[in-house]
């Protein structure tokens, strides 16, 4: 039996043990029902951030899969996690109204002074870049 799980990173070891315990009784029933000598439970566990446990390579060997299969698994998990996060942000953006820019700048700040400071900063950076180019 093969069971695939994608838990959070902090639940990785617990998930492996839970999966093995959960399906061991079923594996014993399958042995009895189909008159088999053994049935193995092979958990394939990778975290939602693509962290892999040490036991994953052993599980891949037991299934006669290429040792680098974990790379494709990591890629799939990362793409899946990114898709979930992207969908969450899309739904949040639909429900939140944009805040006017005036609220970002405290009322006690003199905006004209900010513009003067930013222009002065830009001029200093341009002078430094010109000096670096002359070297």
Both 106 and 75 in a single domain? no
Supply the DSSP symbol for 9.
G
Both 121 and 60 in a single domain? no
Q: How confident is the model at residue 94 (pLDDT cuts 50, 70, 90)?
A: confident
Both 116 and 59 in a single domain? no
Q: 114 lies in which domain range?
A: 101-134
pLDDT of residue 71: 94
Both 33 and 82 in a single domain? yes
Mean of pLDDT values over 105-112: 61
The segment with the largest mean pLDDT, out of 3-17, 91-105, 116-130, is 3-17
- Alpha carbon distance 19, 2 (integer Å): 10
pTM, to two decimals: 0.60
Q: How many CA atoms lie within 13 Å of 84's alpha carbon, on the beta-carbon side? A: 8
Chain mean pLDDT for the chain: 80
pLDDT of residue 90: 84
């Amino acid at each position: 039996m093969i069971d695939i799980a994608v838990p959070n990173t902090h639940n990785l070891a617990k998930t492996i043990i839970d999966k093995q315990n959960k399906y061991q009784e079923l594996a014993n029933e399958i042995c009895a029902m189909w008159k088999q000598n053994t049935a193995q439970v092979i958990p394939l566990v990778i975290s939602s951030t693509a962290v892999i446990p040490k036991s994953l390579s052993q599980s891949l060997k037991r299934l006669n899969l290429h040792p680098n299969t974990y790379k494709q698994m990591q890629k799939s998990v990362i793409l899946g996690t990114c898709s979930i996060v992207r969908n969450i942000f899309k739904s949040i953006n639909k429900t939140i109204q944009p805040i006017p820019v005036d609220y970002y700048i405290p009322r006690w700040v003199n905006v004209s002074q900010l513009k003067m400071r930013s222009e002065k900063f830009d001029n200093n950076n341009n002078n430094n870049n010109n000096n670096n180019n002359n070297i």
